[in-house]
Amino acid sequence: MAYCIKCGVELSEYIKACPLCETEVLNGTENEEIINSDYPDYRMSPKDETKRVKHIFAGKILSVLFFDYAIILLILNILINKTVSWSMIPVLSLVLCWFGVAYPFFRKHNTFFRLFTMNCIAVIVYLLSLNLIISGDILWSRIAGLSIALLWVIMAGFFIPERIRKILPVTVYYILSSVILFVVITLLIGNQLSIFQVVLPLTILLLVLSLVSYFVIVARANDFLGMSSVILFDISVFCLVLDIIIVHYTKGTYMPSWSIIVNIVTIPLFATVHTIKKSRELKSLISKKLHR
């Protein structure tokens, strides 16, 4: 039995110095077995941590891939036509793809809303540029751009906290959006369009779509994926009908033009979201990642 002469406490057999005052134990036992009861002196260190996969690497690979394709297309166009003409369309599409696929890898903290905003801006710029390259103006693309801006406004509504949503329900939010659209369209192209032939049908369409979507979301699809698929469906229908109304008014035909491009984007997205909603594994992954 050993004691610390300074502190007066009893010390376990294997202790060679008092842990409180570091006074050495006189005549301490030093047999092999007792020395071995000291814990091994090894420890984990941060260096033992396996290096995490750097997502930025994937982003770089994708960027190089898109860049290579863009350069090849531009060179081909210059070699064949001695000018840059048709290649601008796929190059612009590659830039859009870069924003959608590669850009998130370079961001450290991605959030859904931030990515969505970035992609909306990219799609608007893409459509405006496409229109400018093809027709030399931004006649149809400003309507498409406006629709996407409206989509952004609608999506932003879902990020409004529940407490405020109680005061400002989704229906009211949609009505407000349609009024804003009404005003903006009238301001932009008001002189060329008849209020009764274009703007009023559009407003009614928006209201009908909003109300139907609202009730579908409340009754059947009140989760994130459900809402996304309903919204994508709404965009498809809205753009198509909008295009038909404008084409009918200006040219007298029913042949849609730019809305086909919008539908090329939204229909695969709708199909993807719908597949995810139906797939249990993917659904489980989404519910885990987005639980509140």
Partner 1 sequence: MHKTKHPKWYQLDTSAKIYPAMESIRNPAVFRLSMRLDKKIDPVILNTALEDIRDRFPYYNVSLKKGLFWNYLQQNTNPLHVWTDSRYPCERIYRDSNNDYLYKVKYYENNIATEFFHVLTDGFGGMEHLKCLVQRYLFLTGDVKEKLDDIIDIDEAPDIQEQEDAFLKVLESEKDTADIDKKRSLFSNNRTYQIKGRLLPMGELKVVTGIVSSEELKKLSREHDATITQFLAALYVEALILYQSHQIKDKGNHRNVGIQIPVNMRKYYPYRCMRNFSLFVTPIIDPREVHSLDDIIAKIKEFMKEHLTLKHLLTMVDDNCSLAKHTILKHVPVDIKNFAIKYIDKTKGSTQFSGTISNMGMIKLPDSMSAHVENVLVQIGAKPQSKLSCSLSGYKDKIYISFGRNVKSAFIEKHMFTSLVKMSIKVKLMSTS
User: Which range touches partner 1 (CB under 8 A), out of 39-47, 69-77, 210-218, 237-245?
Assistant: 39-47
User: Which residue's CB is nearer to partner 1, number 4 or number 232?
Assistant: 4
30 binds partner 1, rule: CB under 8 A: no
Neighbouring-strand partners of residue 2: 11
| Contact residue for partner 1 among 24, 29, 38, 194 (CB under 8 A) | 38
Q: Which is nearer to partner 1, 9 or 176 (CB)?
A: 9
Kindly state the smallest distance separating residue 288's Cβ from partner 1, in Å.
Answer: 5
Residues written for the chain: 292
Among 12, 29, 85, 250, binds partner 1 (CB under 8 A): 12
By CB under 8 A, residue 9 contacts partner 1: yes
Write out the two tokens for 40. 């091994």
Q: Verify binding: residue 82, partner 1, rule CB under 8 A.
A: no
| Residues in 147-166 at the binding interface with partner 1, rule: CB under 8 A | 159, 161-163
- Residues 214-253 touching partner 1, rule: CB under 8 A, are none
Report the interface residues with partner 1, using CB under 8 A: 4, 7-12, 15, 18-21, 36-46, 48-50, 52, 109, 111-112, 159, 161-163, 280-281, 284, 288-292
